[in-house]
Structure 1
């Protein structure tokens, strides 16, 4: 039996009383079920069995309290019931199959994208189907999950349905399930409503008021992050997860790794004088904390925190709208479209050429971003708009 295990069955009260220690320790509930307590306070359910060859086998079931004591025991019973003589798990629950597929696509998709897919599964699918064996789930079971979602979020319901169809297809290929109950369901859900553009600002007086308000805030936390994202034209998730190891202050560039990019392509961001000033101010406030430029209480700042700070500065603007605000301004003033689209990291139709354009138009994009930063400052201060760079 693992060290620190106990011979009594767990209760919710006893679980809540378990305090973190300097090292990981485990507490037994019985019948191969254990609760692993980490130094951070994280509590994870785990089953431990012995294979036919005498080797030990561990399997993580989920985190407590997201996976309750009763659910963990039910999940344990399913796992043990479907274990073959060698001690390996043959049949997968819906949650197992989902995590198996998410691990697979994480090799090719960005971390924020995979995290978003996992959150959808955790919020909408796992509570109802997570502990069910994947090959016992029927189309009506899936529709029972999708229908309430579609009443409020039609597009989201279709995305989850499409994800499940791909997940089961992969499960068939990998011999985890025999059939795909998710096929053709997405097409039978309500049509999504017409897509709405991100709320943004287009009038110079509104842009000036926003930049004036955010400039009056302390150069720390979410307010510094908003200014930095505005000046770099990156996506909110890319700015929130920025790391000091990606930034070269001497060369005045920020290289966002492909794993964090939506299009899975490394992105070179030239930094204006004002962007450098933000980084220098932030570094003094919390130097290299967690390796993140804009750390939050646990990891990076949340999207909701970013939105609430933007709303405190202006109405009718969201984090993604900062990119639209810059794009609209730069196109209106007739900057070269290629420079703008490259800075926005929009995919180029010419994929072959795209793979060789690592530093394409970097001097031009640097001049464009410096002009945009000076333009915002001029609007804020009521001074003449700077002339376009001669490039």
Structure 2
């Protein structure tokens, strides 16, 4: 006949004294109180592992932190797992591992991992702006939260004050970035689904404001204003360089002397500095080479064409041209990026091939076959386009432009 274990009483557990050797008191159904020689007491669960005859022990915890009643509740749960052929010790270890993983996968840590991938696809300046926006607006409130605990209501509460200030463009960018981070968490197996998919619907959409630019017939007035403006030579050269080369503000401001190939009259911008992460070649014209000659005594011995005013070892800020245009009276009339739009409008009106214009602006051709084909063939056609554009700017600058040469059609 099987031996029947008499359940322990609270008094027995409390009064159990230390002996020369550790010993055990049995409560039944696997629950054991182990008393050590130093007098400490711990609850153990003794059982047979599922599918094998091997015996195992699971430590529930110390007495009196865990009472007799609580130890019995833990025993019941462990036996319930065994009835389903689940090893309670392995179950506990897996739960602890998941808890530890949850605590280590904070939103900020996951965002940092996502950013390591994201920054390979964008320019350095944009990457800096992106990360700064998260540090400023998101991490203080959500950074330490486990990624699995991020919810839409919690996130919306964090963004609401930004929307209340009317910074709707910032809200739009933040919701986009938050969704990218959560999608990364889904794709790396940290969460099952993104809880932030629809949070942009909780905020007003920013009004679409077209980037301030000028009409083609306003180019002469712009060149006249630049020529009379009280600005530093480097700033003047930066504005003219960007206007002639049709590149983005960050690409112009970060131009390096090592990127200039005067043997072939080309400016070779590496992929890591381009918005679309693709090498871009800009044919140099007589006018852009003259800008380089003006810069040579100023920065030819340095790394960057346009050194920063305070620290010449660094390049000028991409907002330098914008700030100068604003001081010249072009606030809300023209931004540095708008000079690309001015070039595009002018060249399209003059009848240049739209594909050649798009290639000059470093826009990505979605057709991969055409991209490979255009890279070589369009360079010479782009060179003609760039020559015409520089000549056009020079005519506007010298006052020789006759009402924007209307009616002139040059096919590049």
Structure 1 CA distance, aligned partners of 2:354 and 2:346? Answer: 12
CA positional deviation for 1:170 = 1.5
2:318 to 270, 291, 303: 303
Structure 1 residues 379 and 313: alpha-carbon distance in aligned structure 2, compared to 1, 3 A threshold: same
Instruction: Deviation per CA, 1:341-391: give whole Å up to 9, x if none.
Output: 111112223222203432332222222222222222222222255877686
Which of the residues 102, 124, 144 maps onto 1:111? 124
Moved more, 127-136 or 249-258: 127-136
**2:392 is aligned with 1:378:** no
For the structure 1 residues 342 and 377, does the alpha-carbon distance in structure 2 shift closer, same or farther, using more than 3 Å as the test? same
How far apart, CA to CA, are the structure 1 residues paired with 2:268 and 2:178? 34
Question: Paired residue for 1:324?
Answer: 341
User: Deviation per CA, 1:169-211, whole angstroms, max 9, x where unpaired?
Assistant: 2224334456633232123332332x2221111152x311211
CA distance in 2, matches of 1:116, 1:241: 16
CA shift for structure 1 position 149: 2.5
1:324 Cα shift? 1.0
CA contact (8 A) 1:219 1:282 kept: no
Aligned to 1:286: 299
Q: Displacement of 1:270 after TM fit? A: 0.5
1:1-391 equivalences under 5 Å are 91-151=104-164, 152-176=166-190, 180-193=194-207, 195-204=208-217, 206-216=218-228, 220-289=233-302, 291-296=303-308, 297-298=310-311, 299-315=314-330, 316-384=333-401
8 Å contact kept, 2:156–2:202 = no
**Per-residue Cα deviation, 1:48-105 (whole angstroms, up to 9, x for no partner):** xxxxxxxxxxxxxxxxxxxxxxxxxxxxxxxxxxx98xx9996133222211110022
Instruction: Return closer, same or farther for 1:379/1:158 CA change in 2, 3 Å cut-off.
Output: closer
1:178–1:347 CA distance, 2 compared to 1 (3 A): closer
Deviations 1:232-280 (A, max 9, x none): 0011111111112211022111111122222222111111111111112
TM-score, scaled relative to structure 2? 0.67
Q: Does the C-alpha gap of structure 1 residues 174 and 207 become closer, same or farther in structure 2, counting only changes over 3 Å?
A: same
Report the CA distance between 1:213 and its aligned residue: 2.7
Unaligned ranges ≥5, structure 2: 1-95
SS in structure 1 of the partner of residue 268 of structure 2: strand
Give the Cα–Cα distance (whole angstroms) in 2 for the partners of residues 191 and 340 of structure 1.
Answer: 31
* Paired residue secondary structure (2:319): helix
Unaligned runs of 5+ in 1: 1-82
- Alpha carbons of structure 1 residues 363 and 169: separation in structure 2 relative to 1, 3 Å: closer
Of Structure 1 and Structure 2, the greater helix share is in: 2
Contact 1:371-1:388 at 8 Å conserved across structures: no
Question: What's the RMSD between the two structures over aligned residues?
Answer: 2.8
Displacement, 1:216? 4.4
Output the CA distance in 2 between the equivalents of 1:104 and 1:250. Answer: 36
Structure 1 residue 167, shift from structure 2 partner: 0.8
2-structure distance, mates of 1:219, 1:372: 25
Q: Is the 8 A contact 1:268 1:358 kept in 2?
A: no
Q: Quote how far apart the aligned CAs of 1:110 are.
A: 3.5
Taking structure 1 as the reference length, the TM-score comes to 0.70
Question: Is the 2:102–2:146 Cα contact (8 Å) retained in structure 1?
Answer: no
Runs of 4+ in 1 over 4 A off after TM superposition: 87-90, 175-179, 216-219, 384-391
